Amino acid sequence: MRKRLNLMTCGESKGTFAAADIFKYMPVFIGAISILAIIPLSQAILGVVYENKAGIVERKVIEVRREVESAKAKKGVVEVEIAKANEKNKNLQNKIEFLARERVDKVNWPRILTAINANLPKDVWINKMILSQRDESRVAGSTYNNALVSSFLSNLESSPHFDRVKFNYTEKAELDGRNIVNFELAFTLSGNGEGEE
């Protein structure tokens, strides 16, 4: 059997053991240094990621705000368009109602004018007429005496085209050196169908 000789002195051998102990703890030191290096690196990476995410979120918030403002503007435009459409609808409805009434209640105005002319005595002329389908109509004219005004009034009363014929006024005037009588009569159109088409 062979023996091994130790050529190291006591002091040298203690240093060797101390160096060996250092290598024993080397993984712990490397791990600690790695952790110390990883922490700032991970904080930097997380900071960049956070800033990136924060930037993305901020852009999304701005985009959503723009979309909300755009939607509000579009809503305002749509509300204006709806109001315009409702106004047009109302106007069209009024026109439809007017045309429906006119079609149902249409008066044969040529027949009414012919009836007024047929009942007009000789030497009576009409200066102004205001004809109304629903309200009181008026005829203003002139003649040479009051008897012709009375004759015209009687003729209108006997006509089937007119109701509630009444005398409004007469006044004396002069035309080309001759005395005349200006007058106005009022009436409503008959409801018996004679004046309608």
What is the 8-class DSSP label of residue 50?
H
Share of the chain above pLDDT 70, in %: 80
Backbone angles phi, psi at 192, to 5 degrees: -85, 5
Measured between its terminal Cα atoms, the distance across the chain in Å is 151
Q: What is the pLDDT of residue 193?
A: 43
- The whole-chain average pLDDT of the chain stands at 80
Res. 2: pLDDT tops 50: yes
Residue 3: C-alpha distances to residues 6, 10, 14, 17, 187 (Å): 10, 19, 22, 22, 157
C-alpha 58/C-alpha 64 separation (Å) is: 10
Specify the pTM: 0.45
Q: What is the pLDDT of residue 42?
A: 74
Digit-coded pLDDT (tens) for 98-114 = 776 665 556 778 888 88
